[in-house]
Structure 1
Amino acid sequence: MRRLASLSLLFCLLAGSAIPGGARNESINGRVFDRAWTLVAERYWDRAMGGNDWDAIRDRYYPQAIAARDEKQLYAVINRMLDQLDDSHVYATSPGELRWSKEPPEDRDMPAARRATRLDGGLLLLRFNQFDPGDDRWIRDEIRATEGLRGVILDLRDNGGGRDDVLDRIAGLFTTRKALLIRLNGRRDIEETTRGAGPNAYQGPLAVIVGPDTGSAAEILAFFLGESGRAYSVGERTAGTVTGGVDHDLPGGGRLTVAEYDIRTANGTRLEGNGFTPKYRVPSARKPTDAALAKAVSLLRGK
């Protein structure tokens, strides 16, 4: 992830006096809008821009961006423009939203990013809501530390995805042979494979639980484990948010995410807009009862 620029507005002087507030607003709004529009024009994976006339779209939204009275309005306009591409990994994040995201999870009333639970019968339930550095080591260490382990359940219902290099390493924890995970198609084509696969991989019974909030890298992992026959897949269809986003800085401290790659699974399946449907379709809500977890437990216990 690139380092984000600090939020700062530079006030210029003209003829010895400050430029009026409206002119300052127009200047920064125009710079942010133009940078976002240009980055998408230059970097988006689909050169046909989803069938859109990108120049005409600029003409439509630029006056609205200039007229925006504050940061919130400006980024709302930019995101309405970006929504014309209908791509899950094309969006702008304002400086204020980025500051909020950096606050400690406890200050934002968010659940723990990782949670390991020992269930009856020697089963290990692992819940994690991102693919961040260290997640692969946490999963490996929890598996190794569980005595009498008879099965692992990966709960990805709250996992919206994350870094692809972490995805590669987590997938490698559950397969003994190097395998193709995804193909990324853009300005250049890339193939990503499992990392660290080998004889030390966990080879026991495995289940993965997914739902409508399962996105991006979590969808890829669930597809790989389920379609390869390595794991039971349980729950509901995933979000279908799978393109390759790259982050870019915007003037004033915001951030633009641009899908620079279209992504296909090893067998050519496109998950973007389609999602992954698990083999065992069970309601994924945890209340009033957790039917998906109960089904995963039942499958691992052989019932």
Structure 2
Amino acid sequence: MIMQRKRTAVIAAALVMVGTLTTACGNPAREPAVIEIPPGFWQVEDYGTALSVHDNVVEAYQLTELSCLTDAPATRSEKPGTYVTEDKDVLTLRPGTRPDRATLHIDGSAGDRTLRHIPALPIPCTSSTEPTTFDVFWQTFQENYPFFAAKGIDWHQVRGRYRERAALAEQRGDDTELFAVLRDMVAPLNDAHVVVSAGEHGFFGIGRPGTTIPGPQLDQRVKEHVQRRDLQQHPLTEYANGRISYADLPGQDYGYLRVSAFSGYTAERTFAADSTELDRALDAIFTADRLTRLRGLILDLRLNGGGSDSLGLQLAARLTDRPYFAYAKKTRSTEPWVQRVEPARAGFAGPVAILTSGSTISAGETFTQAMMERPSRTTRIGQPTQGVFSDVMRRKLPGARHADWSFGLPNEEFLTSDGRTFDGAGIPPEVTEPVFTDEEFSQDRDSGFDRAVRWLESSGS
């Protein structure tokens, strides 16, 4: 569904808000009461989507100026104002401050999206003319992708270069060539949140040059390396389906917390279940006894495939004793929607050394960005993160022949308190160290981990 939140990094598919309102994370009691919005048609501002709310169903339509494609519906749940998609995404619709405004919240996604009441579906939804696959693809990026200028891409020039080639492929029914055209158009973006899935004809998705997308084999190799070398065979206790693990450092009052994803914690694979499991894991880790003696924490995100931004904020809420600004989230025409971290129970507010790399992706990065603003002593060690922060718009393509094709792209920016973003280049470390290179493995080194221990020691913790 177009409105879906991030799960693990979008690349993992290959492997398997108006105003200055704030959202507090870590305190469910502050959730506003849900009141039903009126039935009718609603436009999701800056997300290329229209909704038809009626008869306990939310029907969704993927929009561009040229096209209107029916998306998967959501069905009303037992909780007022909430609807569930076939992918188990939970949508909450709330009235806004005006009769023609409302908000949409997707469980697991930070912040809300603004709905504007419209009298009818847009004209493309009633047109009998079907635009070409190429035109829908190009127009979707034209209306939504925020980073062309930053990446030096003239999208209109791209259109002129590839349109005739795509038209010939569509005329011939050559879907292998059509997929190649779409792939070649977006490959120069080097954006891990841009994907093209063309059924049997192929899948495209790449990370930033010089980075590695985490996978099961590398994850296992790294986990064994850390446990043997860094922890001296001290056991790592695993939680949340193995996505979270913890150990006390031998002979030191420091902790080692490894988070390989912000999703996939439970068999249910829903945000609600993952959120409950995350709290259960953190309760087991941050016990009263451990919080009394723990003088510092190494937080290892070097292989983190992403997931839910809200789960990242939930973890951040356990690592502070004071509320603070996390980041602001905006689209092309909306004002930034500010996200804040509120302290949660059984939290650790001591020094934290965060280990990052180019394999720190998506929600792993938005969490890192939130931790940059943390009031207590915090540092970042390793390599720059991947450089993709936005939720991903999942889009369809027209025509029955392409029913199993889809593509994804980002449309949001995550801002620091002084208005910076890190899309493309990633969040830089404060202390640069190599991360899981062949040389590090062959010489039995973990330079980032060793530097983190020295930082904790020098911080007087």
TM-score (norm 1): 0.72
| 1:77 and 2:181 matched | yes
Q: Is the contact between residue 327 and residue 414 of structure 2 (CA under 8 Å) also seen in structure 1?
A: no
Aligned to 1:51, which of 146, 154, 171?
Answer: 154
Alignment of 1:1-303 (within 5 A): 32-45=133-146, 50-53=153-156, 55-63=159-167, 65-66=169-170, 74-85=178-189, 87-95=191-199, 111=220, 112-120=242-250, 121-132=252-263, 133=271, 134=274, 136-137=278-279, 140-145=282-287, 147-149=289-291, 150=294, 151-175=296-320, 176-198=322-344, 200-226=346-372, 228=374, 230-250=377-397, 251-285=402-436, 287=441, 288-302=444-458
In the other structure, the counterpart of 2:79 is none
C-alpha distance in structure 2 between counterparts of 1:118 and 1:290, whole Å: 17
**1:210 Cα shift?**
0.7
**1:84 Cα shift?**
4.8
C-alpha distance in structure 1 between counterparts of 2:154 and 2:259, whole Å: 37
Q: Is the contact between residue 61 and residue 81 of structure 1 (CA under 8 Å) also seen in structure 2?
A: no
Higher helix share: 1
**1:3-38 deviation digits (Å, cap 9, x = unpaired):** 8979xxxxxxxxxxxxxxxxxxxxxxx965444333
Question: 151-160 or 221-230: which moved more?
Answer: 221-230
**1:198 Cα shift?**
4.7
**1:144-198 deviation digits (Å, cap 9, x = unpaired):** 2484351322111111433322233232222320424233232323424134435
> Number of residue pairs matched?
271
Pairwise CA RMSD of aligned residues?
3.7
Report the 3-state secondary structure (helix = DSSP H, G, I; strand = E; otherwise coil) of the residue aligned with 2:331: strand
Q: Which amino acid aligns with 1:258?
A: L
C-alpha distance in structure 2 between counterparts of 1:118 and 1:247, whole Å: 41
C-alpha distance in structure 2 between counterparts of 1:260 and 1:69, whole Å: 30
**1:74 Cα shift?**
4.4
Question: 176-185 or 134-143: which moved more?
Answer: 134-143
Question: 79-88 or 281-290: which moved more?
Answer: 79-88
**1:73-128 deviation digits (Å, cap 9, x = unpaired):** 64443121123555443332344689xxxxxxxx9756453333332224332222
Relative distance call for 1:56 and 1:265 in structure 2 (3 A) is same
**1:223 Cα shift?**
3.6
**1:47 Cα shift?**
8.8
C-alpha distance in structure 2 between counterparts of 1:171 and 1:82, whole Å: 34
Question: 188-197 or 209-218: which moved more?
Answer: 188-197
Relative distance call for 1:152 and 1:191 in structure 2 (3 A) is same
In the other structure, the counterpart of 1:101 is none
In the other structure, the counterpart of 1:22 is none
Relative distance call for 1:192 and 1:169 in structure 2 (3 A) is farther
Relative distance call for 1:76 and 1:160 in structure 2 (3 A) is farther
Q: Which amino acid aligns with 2:428?
A: T
Report the 3-state secondary structure (helix = DSSP H, G, I; strand = E; otherwise coil) of the residue aligned with 1:93: strand
Report the 3-state secondary structure (helix = DSSP H, G, I; strand = E; otherwise coil) of the residue aligned with 1:179: strand
In the other structure, the counterpart of 2:53 is none
C-alpha distance in structure 2 between counterparts of 1:108 and 1:208, whole Å: 22
